[in-house]
Amino acid sequence: MPDTDVLIVGGGPTGLLLANELGLAGVRAIVVERDLDRSRQSKALNLQPRSAEILDWRGWLSLMDEHAFANVEWGHFSGIPLNYGALDSRFAYQIVIVQADVERALESNLASFGNTLRRGHQLIRIDSGLAPGDEQVTATVATPDGEQQITARYLVGADGGRSTVRKLTGVEFPGRDGNAPATVCDITLTRKPAGVADSWSLPRFDTERTDFAFLMPLRDGVYRFVFGGADQVGFDRDAVITAEEVQGALTRSYGSEIELGELRSGSRFTDAARQVTEYRTGRVFLAGDAAHIHPPLGGQGMSLGLQDAFNLGWKLAAGIHGWAPAHLLDTYHSERHPVAAAVLTNTQVQSVLTAPHPDARAVRDMINGLLQLPDANRQVAQDISGIGIRYDLGPGLGHRMPDLDLGDGTRLAEHARDGSGLLLDSSPDRRFAPLADDRKARVRSVVVDHGALTAQAVLVRPDGYVCASSDEPSTISAALTFWFGAPE
């Protein structure tokens, strides 16, 4: 018997959400994380509306309450405002929360399932599990007490943009190198001039300058400071960020009245954009930044990884419990690869719009004009927020299921807390509900008021996406078998 069902490499938001999803489904998971301590750096700063929805779908959004410090009813496309208030969602806003606190909240929930996070554990080798016929994964991990072998049914690489798992699989990682290096820091200020934001505001990109900088207030007097430009060219990504460098960038952008206090943390990044060709190699999967990297524009990175985990978790659990149809695990790649590809495209467009070039200014002016149109603004807001994600499951299918208010005083999300699929029945004679009876551990039936749905029955997957909608019991029955396997 393997040591665990799933070995997750990487203890960031993607890996931790996946471990929680698996734990909820009764699946054993071990998370190994190279770093001994959680990073002090704020890193990602927001939960997009769709990520808030999926966390609420499990009842885990409340874990973030004590850590979140603002709700913002706008997004942005290269600094051009997007009206999130127009989105059809209970969470038509961004939740401002630093990545470390998302990790802290998700890690605190792991204990309730018995799954563990092991810090100071670094993957060295994948000894088996990459070949099609392998029946388990064997991985060698460096621990504080020496090397250790761990066996698992599956392995998931959620270990970031420089993923060891990705390199060990040998999967292709095409794309382009970065052209615009930049630095991000968490700092305090001992002096600041008037005009420095004390509340959240849109980042401003001045395409007439060859450099850029903006400050965003976090909490407790800490600011995120992002700056880049020609002076960053040639820096090694691992080069030490000095207080002198940061003060110089502050002075150039905000004048001599601003003064750096503490440089708490910092890192360098570029606008590189790459995506693996395959999200699965044998029994090894890639998720989050291990599968895709892109410019950090629009605040999409952490949410994209969380949604990878939400898509993959229930499918892995189905495979481990033995009821997954043969094709189910392969749908992880076919569904999530296009979503990340679209994010790479929109972030590269945003990068172009920020470039200090006359042509970029002309394009930006045109895009800005288009985004003043409510329909155009709403469409781009749906894309950036994740609300508009649609998987190619057939005509009229593949969109997220809205969180309906039900006639019994509950809402739909409350019925998804156990991780099961939902069969919604609004037929007058409730003839669809019994179809779920022979898959009780996988699908639960929910009675919905007549007329609340576009069809008499709607089948919703555990990740909240509609996979069948029909007035015909035979159609719903076939979809149940396709997505949830044969009856028990």
Q: What confidence category does residue 233 fall into, taking pLDDT thresholds of 50, 70 and 90?
A: low
State the pLDDT at residue 212: 79
State the pLDDT at residue 232: 66
DSSP letter, residue 12: S
Q: How far apart are CA 418 and CA 155, in angstroms?
A: 23
Domains and CATH numbers, the chain: 4-174+274-353 (3.50.50.60), 182-269 (3.30.70.2450), 412-484 (3.40.30.120)
Average pLDDT of the chain? Answer: 93
Q: What percent of the chain has pLDDT over 70?
A: 98
Could you tell me if 271 and 180 are in contact, meaning their C-beta atoms sit under 8 angstroms apart? Answer: yes
Could you tell me if 30 and 152 are in contact, meaning their C-beta atoms sit under 8 angstroms apart? Answer: yes
Q: What is the mean pLDDT of residues 109-123?
A: 94
**Listed residue (6, 95, 21) closest to 310, CA to CA:** 21
Q: How far apart are CA 219 and CA 223, in angstroms?
A: 8
Could you tell me if 312 and 355 are in contact, meaning their C-beta atoms sit under 8 angstroms apart? Answer: no
421-430 burial: b if 16+ Cβ within 10 Å, else e: bbbbbbbeee
End-to-end CA distance of the chain: 24
Q: Give the model confidence (pLDDT) of 35-54 as tens digits.
A: 999 988 888 999 999 999 99
State the pLDDT at residue 393: 98
Please give the model's pTM, rounded to 2 decimal places.
0.96
Pairing of strands 29-33, 4-9: parallel
Q: With the C-alpha atoms ordered 22, 26, 28, 34, is the resulting torsion angle positive or negative? A: positive
DSSP letter, residue 401: P
Q: What confidence category does residue 386 fall into, taking pLDDT thresholds of 50, 70 and 90?
A: very high
Q: Is residue 180's pLDDT more than 90?
A: no
Q: Give the model confidence (pLDDT) of 188-232 as tens digits.
A: 999 988 877 777 777 777 666 667 788 888 888 899 999 887 666
**Distances in Å between the alpha carbon of 181 and those of 43, 71, 150, 206?**
16, 30, 38, 16
For the ranges 159-168, 282-291, 433-442, the lowest mean pLDDT is seen at 433-442
Backbone angles phi, psi at 67, to 5 degrees: -100, -30
Tell me how many degrees the CA angle 84-87-92 measures, rounded to the nearest 5. Answer: 60
Q: What confidence category does residue 234 fall into, taking pLDDT thresholds of 50, 70 and 90?
A: low
* Residues 6 or more apart whose Cβ sits within 8 Å of residue 244: none
State the pLDDT at residue 270: 85
What are the E-state strand segments in 166-311? Answer: 175-176, 182-191, 211-217, 223-229, 259-269, 273-275, 280-281, 284-286, 292-293
3-state secondary structure at position 2? coil
**Listed residue (422, 442, 441) closest to 432, CA to CA:** 422
192-221 burial: b if 16+ Cβ within 10 Å, else e: beeeeeeebebbebebeeebbbbbbbbeee
